Amino acid sequence: MEIKVSVRGLVEFLLRTGDIDNRKKSAPDDAMAEGSRIHRMIQKKMGSSYHAEVMLRYRRDCGEYDLVVEGRADGIIDSDPVAVDEIKGTYRDLSRMKEPNPVHLTQAKCYAWMYGQEHGKERMEVSMTYCNIETEEIRYFKFVYEMSDLEEWFDSLLQEYRKWSDADIAWKKLRQDSIHSLSFPFPYREGQKELVTHVYHTICHSRKLFIEAPTGAGKTISTVFPAVKAVGEGKADRIFYLTAKTIARTVADRTFDLLRERGLHFKTVVLTARDKICFMEESECNPDSCPYAKGHFDRINDAIFELMTTKEHYSREEIEACAQKYKVCPFELGLDMSLFSDGILCDYNYVFDPHVYLRRFFGEGAGREQYLFLIDEAHNLLERGREMYSAQLYKEDFLTLKKTVKAFSPRMEKLLDKCNRELLFLKRECGDWCIVEEIDAFVQALLRLSPCMEDYLENHDDSPVRREILDFYFEISHFLQIYELLDQKYVVYTKLDEDGRFLLRLFNVDPSTNLKECLQRSVSSVLFSATLLPIQYYKKLLGGEAEDYEVYAKSVFSPEKKGLFLAEDVTSRYTRRSDREYDKIANYIHQTVSQRHGNYMVFFPSHVFLQQVYERYLRCYAVKDDTECLVQTEHMDEAEREAFLQRFEGNPGMNLSDIIHMEIEVEEESSLVGFCVLGGIFSEGIDLKEDSLIGALIVGTGLPQVCTEREIIRGYFEENGENGFDYAYRYPGMNKVLQAAGRVIRTADDVGIVALLDDRFLTPGYRRLFPREWEQFEVVRGESIGSRVEKFWNDWL
């Protein structure tokens, strides 16, 4: 067995000290794009004796395993003695540098020893080359070391790391043994063993798999179990379980716990967003504002070692407790624990977002491990991908900052004004909104502004306008980074907002290329959802390729347990919205709810529509139906959302499965009806089992509102030979409908009804999007829905 560590990872991990201070991270020493340019510029200027990007590797026999240290030296110079060149681009004033950064120097010394040892040298030179990115001024720091001294120093470095590598290798042996003896924790449901096999074979063939997995297919355990087995067979080193919402991470977390109860040894970490896990009221990550940031790096490795040697599950609670004990940042501790975890449960953005993805795994210089991506609720990744790979700037923000910095940086003020004038030119050409073919002049102005801001931030730590400059600098950096990605799958447009602000947006209409590039960070990816229809649409836009696989998992639920009713005499079309239509929908709710007391949710296309129907139902039917009504408001906080759901979970009444099995007739005393918005917080991701929810009425087809971006999506796909309306409206709308309908039947014992209140569901365009479980349905009208629902319940009760 072997453990690999990069030179950079080794040095940065062992030698880090001091505070977390985000005030000093605004202009990184090795800014990615510009830093690479500086490297290439310097390397090209050197003569034939200079060898660029030299790969070095050293293997140390540690008994039970080999410790492999590897990295790429920026340059090796044929001189006497031979020199290792380490290049760093920076925005710092080089005249103020008294010595090289200790971590940079240590990294170069590692390369010097590795090269000297491999080539039998007696001494080596280390050349630290710092270059100011803006001025291209260069400063050198040179050192000469005897190989005997370097050997003693390097041995002590590796000996310090042995504490970690020994613990890691012992853990991996325990983990692999436990995986080999692990068996599936349940009797296989119908079709579930085939699904597990599909996932395992996909991993073996290094492909992507897209799974449409209806509720009840057991998609979490059916993806996690074969992925864990693949790790045991050496086909991958680490699993990333990626989700869009906390509830999905919770389910995955419980699944790993279940496998541990069955004998699995597998370390998992749950990554929590900084603003949620931070101990302070405001996340000001510097030693002046946060006691956990002060001296964080002096204590963090002790905290890590305790967790990695005493726990297998690094939950939010465990991380917070350890962070309190060692007085370190809980967010950073969680990120560090990911390095010592076999499974990482986190949001999509830790893999896909171009700014916050985990560079310790996927960045330049990271190790070459093999990763598995399990992507839950994958239908959410499309819109998230569009947003992550788009960028925008407002003209008014340039004017605001221009006034702010006027007294502090006249040069920055001038450059901000230039950007503003370029945007003014675009604004004059705009109207309400328009697609823009060329923004080179504006981008050039941004490229002059950005290094000016970097220079100011680097050299003015205590400036009273630093925060304003820093925030806007990040916006500009994001815009420029996305600009570098522009291709035919982007649309650049300008728009005058309702509040009069002028927007320039780089819109990634089709994010498939960017998502595909991220998916290539894994050896295999499994994307699954209960609503991944039509599957070819998602496969195309989520970065799938022709040779990747698709599977439609079989539902284990009896279709007879769900009454599916399609209304043919009501609609939510804008052209037919009227008091008469609202009255008809209120009557549908009454006719459905009055047949059996219990918990229901009604989903509407908007809050305005909801309010119209709610007022009519409350006035005409609520008392008659003995109904309590709850309304989803536009801005519910977390406590209000929890209270809303708890009313459904806590509504008294005998469990429906008990009623069925005991063959007795029991009626709850009243009904609970939740008035909700389709596509909102209660139509996806909530798990109301058994009698917590016995019916869902869905008003409308879920079509997104017509807006600038939806019309851009429509036009883009029409130009590319697709049905633009389907891509922009019908498919995302139907996904919301399927998600809302999926709230009703959650377990094999559940019985419930789903009513689709819009005549468009009967048209071929929508019927072809129905999942297989919807093959059986009844067409109803306002005067017949009550009797049909009554018959459904009578057949079961």
For the ranges 35-49, 417-431, 635-649, 657-671, which has the lowest average pLDDT?
657-671
Q: How far is CA 492 from CA 78, 439, 574, 706, 716, in A?
A: 49, 9, 30, 19, 12
Nearest to 193 by CA among 554, 533, 558: 554
Joined together, the tokens standing for residue 92 give 């710092």
Pairing label, strands 391-394, 549-552: unpaired
Nearest to 780 by CA among 564, 625, 618: 564
Q: Which helix (H) or strand (E) holds 60?
A: strand 50-61
Q: Which long-range contacts (CB under 8 A, 24 or more apart) does 560-563 make?
A: 560/776, 561/745, 561/750, 561/751, 561/752, 561/796, 562/744, 562/745, 562/751, 562/752, 562/753, 562/754, 562/773, 563/752, 563/753, 563/754, 563/778, 563/788, 563/789, 563/792
pLDDT at 570: 96
pLDDT at 302: 96
pLDDT at 365: 60
Structural contact between residues 154 and 173, judged by C-beta atoms closer than 8 angstroms: no
- Distance in Å from the first CA to the final CA of the chain: 61
What φ, ψ does residue 124 adopt, rounded to 5°? -140, 150
Q: How far is CA 209 from CA 353, 384, 568, in A?
A: 21, 19, 37
| pLDDT band at residue 24 using 50, 70 and 90 as cut-offs | low
The pLDDT of 664-675, averaged and rounded, is 69
CATH class of 390-508: mainly alpha
| Residue keyed to tokens 């001024």 | 137
The pLDDT of 614-640, averaged and rounded, is 92
Across-strand partners of 144?
A: 125
Pairing label, strands 599-604, 671-677: parallel
Q: What pTM value is reported for the model?
A: 0.90
Structural contact between residues 465 and 404, judged by C-beta atoms closer than 8 angstroms: yes
Residues of the chain with CATH 3.40.50.300: 181-266+342-379+524-556, 559-796
> What topology is assigned to 2-165 in CATH?
Lambda Exonuclease; Chain A (3.90.320)
Residue 744 has pLDDT above 80, yes or no: yes
- Superfamily per CATH, domain 181-266+342-379+524-556: P-loop containing nucleotide triphosphate hydrolases (3.40.50.300)
Residue 498 has pLDDT above 90, yes or no: no
Joined together, the tokens standing for residue 756 give 């689709």
Residues of the chain with CATH 3.90.320.10: 2-165
**Average pLDDT over the chain, rounded to an integer:** 91
Q: Which CATH architecture has domain 559-796?
A: 3-Layer(aba) Sandwich (3.40)
3-state SS class at 219: helix
| pLDDT band at residue 556 using 50, 70 and 90 as cut-offs | confident
